[in-house]
Amino acid sequence: MSVVIANNIRKSFGPLAVLKGVSLTVQGGEVVALIGRSGSGKSTFLRCLNGLETIDGGDIEIAGHAMSRKPALLRELRRDVGIVFQSYNLFPHLTAGENIMLAPVQVKGEAKSAAKEEARRCLALVGLADRFDSYPDMLSGGQQQRVAIARSLAMRPKVLLFDEVTSALDPELTGEVLAVIESLARQGMTMLLVTHEMGFARRVANRTIYMKDGVIHEEGPSAEFFTNPKTPELQAFLRSEVG
């Protein structure tokens, strides 16, 4: 079953064409990595997929929802499409648990007791079962990012989008966040992740996509993609990322 179907997506900011016809299908349970140079359109593409940017052309179906500009339909779509950014955006005056409970209570109308139980379950999934009552400033960057992932999981999304979620972290904290994503992959979560971690993409993503100048320049099963890149542009990119 296809969880993401993006067909010929186009997006410009004023005169700047950022996405020039991007098509991508992601199957349920698949993990797809999106790589490419700064400015190639990776974040813009992810933002289009959950309606944070309007598209100028093409069409999107994600988690069973057709993309819409209607606020009510967009809200329904976003319940099923989690997105995690480089910045964690946790509310500093709420505990980790309260941050996670917020959307289930306010958006889904869940009872507080049920949301609390769900928050505990999600904190355990990211290895923070004992930090329910910690405020964000008592947590490391890696722990805060794991709380942000738990917050997404609490909505029980059908697909998760990650945009360079480890870029703000020191190397020793990056590993613990990547381990959480890897465990979600093993549990069958459908994920699309923009990353600079080539080793991680190679190991965890079923498929990797190289974006260049607003188009998919090359893609393939990760094993093949990294060992045998076909285009000179991808070969040069992979060389520059390694060393």
State the Cα angle at 54 between 28 and 217, rounded to 5°: 60
Please tell me whether residue 43 binds ligand ATP under the rule CB under 6 A. Answer: yes
Number of residues lying near ligand ATP (CB under 6 A): 11
| Residue 198, H or E segment | helix 198-204
Residue 211: phi, psi to the nearest 5?
A: -95, 140
Nearer to ligand ATP, 52 or 102 (CB): 52
CA distance 20 to 43: 14
Among 40, 43, 50, 166, binds Mg ion (CB under 5 A): 43
Using the rule CB under 6 A, give the single segment among 10-18, 119-127, 171-179, 232-240 that binds ligand ATP: 10-18
Nearer to ligand ATP, 94 or 238 (CB): 238
Please tell me whether residue 195 binds Mg ion under the rule CB under 5 A. Answer: no
Please tell me whether residue 212 binds ligand ATP under the rule CB under 6 A. Answer: no
Q: Are 65 and 76 in contact (CB under 8 A)?
A: yes
Nearer to ligand ATP, 40 or 144 (CB): 40
Please tell me whether residue 41 binds ligand ATP under the rule CB under 6 A. Answer: yes
* Min separation Cβ 110 and ligand ATP, Å: 33
Nearer to Mg ion, 118 or 164 (CB): 164
Please tell me whether residue 38 binds ligand ATP under the rule CB under 6 A. Answer: yes
Please tell me whether residue 113 binds ligand ATP under the rule CB under 6 A. Answer: no
**Token pair of 187 as six digits:** 């549990």
CA distance 142 to 171: 10
**Residues whose CB is less than 8 angstroms from the CB of residue 54 and which lie 6 or more positions away in sequence, other chains included:** 48, 69
Binding pattern to ligand ATP, positions 11-30, x when CB under 6 A? --x--x-x------------
| Residue 114, H or E segment | helix 112-125
Among 21, 28, 29, 39, binds ligand ATP (CB under 6 A): 39
**Residue by residue, what is the 3-state secondary structure of 223-238?**
HHHHHCCCCHHHHHHH
Other residues' Cβ atoms within 10 Å of the Cβ of residue 120: 18
Which residues of this chain interact with Mg ion, rule CB under 5 A?
Answer: 43
Q: Which residues bind ligand ATP (CB under 6 A)?
A: 13, 16, 18, 36, 38-44
